[in-house]
């Protein structure tokens, strides 16, 4: 059951797609205490010792969110250390699993900064606070056995997803293995990557084009010096079974003669600054230098920007990744001017400790709250609710402050692309995913989890994030496999692909300047080939389970306790996860490990794959099965081998790889009929 409370006059995020009439009473106290007024919003809930909290989509820490603070405020945050409270996504859905009562879910439909203190300040208190008290709050419950014996936790997640709309489904090829790197600059760089993958027989389906393909980082341009005949190059790659996926950034370079800039300015489609005058848009620097930012909240501007993707679609492009759309700001013009004045004022000064720190901080100009507070968007009066900061103009349009609605900027950028692409290419599935997101963005595209690092703790974080993301509808998601920042090691990359081969979005991506991590570069590349081939062998299962989750509002990845609800141990497992209806994953997440402990909540069949002798063999020979009884086990998993488990009595569909020609999603999924790996 869904109960909807409308507090004050909220900003309409459009994250909810069904009309749930709101309750006429005050916010129910059954679910905790609540205050709303001048001082904003506060909801608090008393936690019993063993209550568990799940959800919050893309966020830090484990699957059980208890013991930390989280802030929904889409952040350009490349250092995912444990002290951070925000990442790129803002996903305000939590599932409370009380020790003694029925579970319930809460969705805070609010576009701005909102804080979740989950037993951090006080170990037995969960508080949710926001600066404004205007929001929609949805409480979701499901009684045991009510919805055709579906587990209540799953029923609640499903009801939440029904509320927020169906998840994006990517084209079939986007379930293949994909290579990216910030650092491929020319068509020849990409040709070489493809040739080397092919040379080592490691399947590859797509190559990503990072910012260097553009002329001076200008959206919707392709540098003719680096790509002399782009359209032909796209076709050449497609002939080889390779899709190219260019990046699109949120900032539009200020440069006279650049059509996107000139049109946007003329039509008043850029976000305004404090003057609330569309002929003076907000200005800040990103990769291209000083930029304006399309007003993705304005439907006309959204359509205008989305239609720009046409130039790349016309060149044969069928996939995009939207980036820097929190939006990331390196510095604002105003911020830089103030900082320079401040630094100047310190000249010849003997700085005391306070002044020194203030001086040091004044050079940190990125992603400042003050800058976000200087950006304004135009929406209609009804959408704005109490968030309007100006009187309606003759068209009934008002301005809202960016800071108040920050979490929906990136979502509306993805929406802009998705809506136009649907119109421009109605008969084609196009790959689209984004860095920033909030609830609702899952209808328009997938997300990747942003700039992680090549460290073991981020491999573990990848696993935990999948549970929260699936609860919030982001089924097409995955991390930068191998790690984006820092230098990866062969072993970390090997363990990472052993996990990522199960994530719907499977992309190896790295930062410019780091060690190259294309799989053909590592010693004994046959071991990498065997793992990537495992992904392709499992495609029938991965795709079918993804589709089931997408069409039935289910979860592709689930915490173990969501299925084994009566098993207390299962609820606490943080390093294993359920994948689809038949599989459990227990990847190795530690360096130098020859194996790991695993807890089986029921009898299961362990399936091992990988190793150089498994590359290029028939599917029969590629997997080794062993039955293990319910309970604790030490399993041996040497570095080149991976494992998964088939649940008791279940089966997993697998494909044979084609005997000749390229191994890709098409050749595998349209090849021989899939067979089943059955639990022993
Ligand atoms: C951002 C993106 C990253 C990309 C880089 C350059 O950091 O998150 O994936 O490689 O920008 O475009």
pLDDT tens per residue across span 395-436? 999 999 999 999 999 999 999 999 999 999 999 999 999 999
Q: Report the chain's mean pLDDT, rounded to a whole number.
A: 96
Distance 208 CA to ligand 1 centre (A): 11
pLDDT of 553: 98
Q: Where are the beta strands (DSSP E) in 517-567?
A: 557-558
Question: What percent of the chain has pLDDT above 70?
Answer: 99
- The protein residue whose alpha carbon is closest to atom 7 in ligand 1 is 451
Q: Out of 78, 180, 210, give the residue to mutate to test ligand 1, the one with the largest number of ligand atoms within 8 Å of its CB.
A: 210
- Consecutive H or E run containing 528: helix 525-537
* Contact indicator for 321, 433 with CB cutoff of 8 Å: yes
> What is the dihedral sign for C-alpha 382, 388, 391, 397?
negative
Q: Whose alpha carbon is nearest atom 5 of ligand 1?
A: 182
- Least confident interval from 125-129, 264-268, 670-674: 670-674
Which of the pair, 434 or 354, is modelled with greater confidence?
434
* Whether 470 contacts 549, CB under 8 Å: yes
User: How many residues can be counted in the chain?
Assistant: 680
Q: How far is CA 152 from CA 53, 558, 565, in A?
A: 14, 14, 9
CA–CA separation, 525 and 204 (whole Å): 14
- The pLDDT, as a whole number, for residue 147 is 52
**Mean pLDDT calculated for residue range 367-377:** 97
**What average pLDDT does range 320-324 have in this prediction?**
98
How far is residue 8's CA from residue 561's CA, in Å, rounded to a whole number?
37
pTM recorded for the entire structure = 0.97
Q: Which of 249, 451, 454, 507 to mutate to test the pocket of ligand 1 (most atoms within 8 A of CB)?
A: 451
Q: Would you state the structure tokens that stand for residue 393, as one six-digit string?
A: 């103009």
Helix (H) or strand (E) holding 299: helix 299-307
Q: Are 237 and 207 in contact (CB under 8 A)?
A: yes
Dist. CA 451 → ligand 1 center (Å): 7
Q: Which two tokens stand for residue 132?
A: 């404004």
CA angle 101, 106, 112 (to 5 degrees): 155
Token pair 């002939």 is found at 239
Q: Ligand 1 mean position to 595 CA, how many Å? A: 34
Does residue 246 or residue 347 have the better pLDDT? 246
The two structure tokens encoding residue 173? 């090829």
Helix (H) or strand (E) holding 501: none
Pinpoint the alpha helices (H) of 124-225.
152-164, 187-199
Which pLDDT does position 144 carry in this prediction?
63
pLDDT at 27: 74
User: Is residue 263 scored above 70 in pLDDT?
Assistant: yes
Mutation test of ligand 1: which of 75, 179, 324, 514 has the most ligand atoms closer than 8 Å to its C-beta?
324
**How much distance in Å is there from the Cα of 36 to the middle of ligand 1?**
39
In angstroms, the CA 223 to CA 460 distance is 38
**Chain segment 581-594, per-residue pLDDT in tens:** 999 999 999 999 99
- Whose CA is closest to atom 3 on ligand 1? 451
Measured distance CA(30)–CA(49) in Å, rounded: 19
What pLDDT score was predicted for residue 148? 66
Identify the residue whose C-alpha is closest to ligand 1 atom 10.
Answer: 182
Gap between the terminal Cα atoms of the chain = 39
Q: What pLDDT digit, counting tens, does each position of 483-514 carry?
A: 999 999 999 999 999 999 999 999 999 999 99
Q: How far is the centre of ligand 1, averaged over its atoms, from the C-alpha of 247 (Å)?
A: 9
- Cα(552) to ligand 1 centroid in Å equals 33
Q: How many CB atoms lie within 10 A of CB 483?
A: 28
Per-residue tokens: 236: 């050449």
Peptide bond into 634 cis (omega under 30): no
CA proximity to 250, closest of 302, 307, 316, 324? 324
Task: Measure the CA–CA gap between 291 and 218, rounded to whole angstroms.
Answer: 10
* Ligand 1 atom closest to residue 249's alpha carbon, by position in its atom list: 12
Residue-wise pLDDT for 34-56, tens only, equals 898 889 999 999 999 999 999 99
pLDDT in tens, 616-644: 999 999 999 999 999 999 999 999 999 99
Instruction: Map residue 392 onto helix, strand or coil.
Output: coil
> In sequence order, what are the residues at sequence separation of 6 or more whose Cβ sits closer than 8 angstroms to the Cβ of residue 666?
172, 173, 241
- Indicate if the pLDDT at residue 179 is higher than 80: yes
Helices (H), 389-455: 402-405, 409-424
CA distance 555 to 566: 19
Look at residue 265 and tell me whether its pLDDT is greater than 70: yes
3-state secondary structure 236-273: HHHHCCCEEEEEEECCEECCCCCHHHHHHHHHCCECEC
| Strand blocks (E) in 503-566 | 506-508, 557-558
511: helix, strand or coil: coil
Q: Which residues line ligand 1 (CB under 6 A)?
A: 182, 210-211, 247, 323, 435, 450-451, 509
Residue 111: exposed, middle, or buried by beta-carbon count in 10 A (0-12, 13-18, 19+)? buried
Cα–ligand 1 centroid distance for 211 (angstroms): 8
Which residue owns the Cα nearest ligand 1 atom 4? 182
pLDDT of 145 reads: 55
pLDDT of residue 77: 94
Q: Is the Cβ–Cβ distance between 45 and 125 less than 8 Å?
A: yes
């Amino acid at each position: 059951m869904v109960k909807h409370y409308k507090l004050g006059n909220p900003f309409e995020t459009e994250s909810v797609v069904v009309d749930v009439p709101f309750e006429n009473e005050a916010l129910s106290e059954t679910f905790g205490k609540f205050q709303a007024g001048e001082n904003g919003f506060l909801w608090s809930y008393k936690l019993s010792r063993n209550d568990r909290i799940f959800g919050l989509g893309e966020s830090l820490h484990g699957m059980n969110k208890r013991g930390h603070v989280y802030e929904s405020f889409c952040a350009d945050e490349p250092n995912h250390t444990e002290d951070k409270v925000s990442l790129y996504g803002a996903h305000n859905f939590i599932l409370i699993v009380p020790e003694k009562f029925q579970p319930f879910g809460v969705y805070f439909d609010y576009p701005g900064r909102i804080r979740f203190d989950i037993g951090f300040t006080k170990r037995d208190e969960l508080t949710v606070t926001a600066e404004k008290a205007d929001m929609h709050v949805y409480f979701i419950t499901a009684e045991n056995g009510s919805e055709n014996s579906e587990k209540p936790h799953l029923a609640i997640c499903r009801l939440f997803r029904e509320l927020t709309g169906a998840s994006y489904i990517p084209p079939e090829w986007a379930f293949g293995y994909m290579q990216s790197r910030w650092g491929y600059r020319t068509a020849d760089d990409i040709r070489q990557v493809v040739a080397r993958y092919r040379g080592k027989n490691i399947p590859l389906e797509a190559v990503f084009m990072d910012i260097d393909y553009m002329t001076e980082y200008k959206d919707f341009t392709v540098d003719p010096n680096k790509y002399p005949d782009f359209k032909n190059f796209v076709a050449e790659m497609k002939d080889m079974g390779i899709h190219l996926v260019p990046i699109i950034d949120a900032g539009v370079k200020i440069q006279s003669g650049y059509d996107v800039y000139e049109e946007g300015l003329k039509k008043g489609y850029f976000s305004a600054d404090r003057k609330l005058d569309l002929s003076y848009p907000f200005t800040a620097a990103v990769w291209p230098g000083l930029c304006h930012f399309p007003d993705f909240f304005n439907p006309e501007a959204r359509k205008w920007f989305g239609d720009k993707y046409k130039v790349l679609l016309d060149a044969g492009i069928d996939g995009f990744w939207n980036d820097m759309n929190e939006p990331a700001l390196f510095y604002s013009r105003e911020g830089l001017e103030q900082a320079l004045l401040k630094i100047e004022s310190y000249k010849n000064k003997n700085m005391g400790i306070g002044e020194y720190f203030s001086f040091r901080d004044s050079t940190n100009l990125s992603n400042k709250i003050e800058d976000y507070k200087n950006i304004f968007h135009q929406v209609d009066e009804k959408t704005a609710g109490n968030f309007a900061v100006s009187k309606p103009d003759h068209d009934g349009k008002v301005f809202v402050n960016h800071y108040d609605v920050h979490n929906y900027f990136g979502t509306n950028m993805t929406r802009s692309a998705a809506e136009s692409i649907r119109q421009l290419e109605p008969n084609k599935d196009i790959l689209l995913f984004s860095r920033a997101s909030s609830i609702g963005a899952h209808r328009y595209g997938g997300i990747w989890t942003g700039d992680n690092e090549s460290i073991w703790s981020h491999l573990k974080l990848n696993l935990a994030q999948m549970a929260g993301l699936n609860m919030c509808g982001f089924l097409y998601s995955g991390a930068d496999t191998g790690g984006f920042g820092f230098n990866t090691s062969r072993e970390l990359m090997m363990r990472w692909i052993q996990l990522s081969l199960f994530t719907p979005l499977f992309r190896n991506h790295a930062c410019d300047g780091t060690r190259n991590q294309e799989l053909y570069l590592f010693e004994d590349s046959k071991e990498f080939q065997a793992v990537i081939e495992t992904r392709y062998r499992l495609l029938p299962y991965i795709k079918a389970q993804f589709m089931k989750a997408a069409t039935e509002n289910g979860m592709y990845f689930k915490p173990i306790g969501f299925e084994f609800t009566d098993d207390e141990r299962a609820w606490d497992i943080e390093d294993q996860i359920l994948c689809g209806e038949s599989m459990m994953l227990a990847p190795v997440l530690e360096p130098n490990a020859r194996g790991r402990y695993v807890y089986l909540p029921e009898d299961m069949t362990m399936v091992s794959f990988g190793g150089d002798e498994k590359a290029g063999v028939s599917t029969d020979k590629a997997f080794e099965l062993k039955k293990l009884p319910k309970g604790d086990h030490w399993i041996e998993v040497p570095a080149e081998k991976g494992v998964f488990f088939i649940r008791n009595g279940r089966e997993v569909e697998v494909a044979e790889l084609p005997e000749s020609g390229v191994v890709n999603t098409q050749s595998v999924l349209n090849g021989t009929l899939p067979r089943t790996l059955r639990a022993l």
